[in-house]
A and B are shown apart, each in its own frame.
Chain A
Amino acid sequence: MTVAARVMMMHQGGWDEILIFVGPVVIIGLLVHVARKQVPTTPEEDDD
């Protein structure tokens, strides 16, 4: 199967369109992950 045909098949399957959404989803996942990881463990009085 040629590359062009493979790309066409991927498009028909919608994989390239799914990739469009992967970017925002990855950014959202990353932000949520960091927010959960860095939850304050010290009391508020210790802040600068």
Chain B
Amino acid sequence: MILAHGLGGRSDLPVPLWLALYAGAGAVVVSFFALTVLWKEPRLRGADAGRALPLSLQRFVDSAFSRVVSRVVGVALFAGFLAMAWAGPGSSADNPAPAWFYVWFWVGLVPLSLLFGPIWRRLNPLRTVASLIPARHRELPDRLGYLPAIVGLVAFLWLELVFPHSDSPRAIAFFCTVYAVIHIALGVVHGPRWFDRGDAFEVYARLIAALSPFGRRGDGRLVVRNPLDGLLTIAPAPWLTALVLVVLGSTAFDGLTRLPFWTSLDAGVVGGTGGLAACIALTYGAYAGAISLTRPYLRRGFDPYPAFAPSLIPIMVGYTVAHYFSFAVFSGQQGFGRAIDYTVVSTGVIALVQIAGIVAGHVLAVTSAHDRSVGVLRANYVKVGQYPMLALMIGYTALGIALVSGS
């Protein structure tokens, strides 16, 4: 049986819905009102913030040796994965490639980026291969922003969540090969900047890495910093908000497909594609509605879309952690070529991580949005001007918890 994530599904013990829902929404509301009392001025400093790490560590990280090693490791891992996906057994029951791809790589990007910052940029085999092919680079139009990354992301999400044979090693091999050829070619044409804007996986990993306590200051020094400062280092660009909302909407769709009513629908490819599009559209619509209500409260000259886009990233990360934690722990074992041991983590821990992930993500988002609001909202309306975004975050929290506990 083929289920979401391309691999066999899992069913977590649901947390008590009423308690989780009210506690989650309550945490968001309480943290908001506490912030309005205690946080009156913008405090986050973005690229100026952070305590410098020892120079010896920075020298090692920036050394040619570590760069070459990380690139070789990235290319070797990708080559091994492709070889297994193309030439290994044709079933996901015998071939670990699907678990490597969906769990170790896609889900693994989250902890990897949270713990070590933008490390995937260093490991990215497509960036490495493209850099080895000499060419005169053509400028990438600024107006495209993150649109190319959205295209790649939607293609991957469709494969993962809608395509009926998403766990087929050959289907994965085909997708990854086509993806690699396209992005290497565009990387050769447009240079390294292509991967900053066009490679869905690198863009996704870099947005998550912004929440890492490790990053680079404006002066290039490696620093340890408040993760919320990292969010401010994300340069506003067209389609950034849409990119984050695509991830949020797709995760909501993934939760939706685990509810009994959806499985009884037998939606098929067309229904699944429509459901995915509808979830992304609804997520986007809710955000657009909140932004439209916020607009009258803004100081002159501020565009609310890019102003609040980074605040969505903790929600994206929190919901991803909540949603994929048990999937990673259980289905990730298939990557070692062994049967799943469901006793490695208790259902209580799963429930705790799910709720903590969603609530922590939203509290961080409220904090980040509040700091931004203090700077961009009219002085007399700082509190009431945040109500639409607060309403949005309560809605996302409630929906996220409901989907997680209903799955």
Contact = CB atoms under 8 A, between A and B. Distances in A.
Do A and B interact with each other, yes or no?
A: yes
7 contacts: A23-B22, A34-B387, A35-B387, A35-B391, A40-B378, A40-B380, A47-B379
A38 to B, nearest CB: 5
Interface string B157-188: 00000000000000000000000000000000
B369 interface: no
Interface string A33-48: 0111011100010011
A20 B388 contact: no
Given A20-B18, A31-B388, A36 B293 contact: yes
Given A40-B380, A47-B379, A27 B299 contact: no
A32 interface: yes
Interface of B: 17-18, 21-22, 25, 29, 293-294, 296-297, 299-300, 378-381, 384-385, 387-388, 390-391, 394-395, 397-398, 402
Nearest to A23: B22
Say what secondary structure dominates the interface of chain A: helix
B25 A24 contact: yes
Contacts of A28: 391, 394-395
A36 B17 CA distance: 31
Contact of B391 (A21, A32, A40, A48): A32
Interface residues of A, number: 18
Contacts of B394: 24, 27-28, 31
Contacts of A44: 299-300, 378
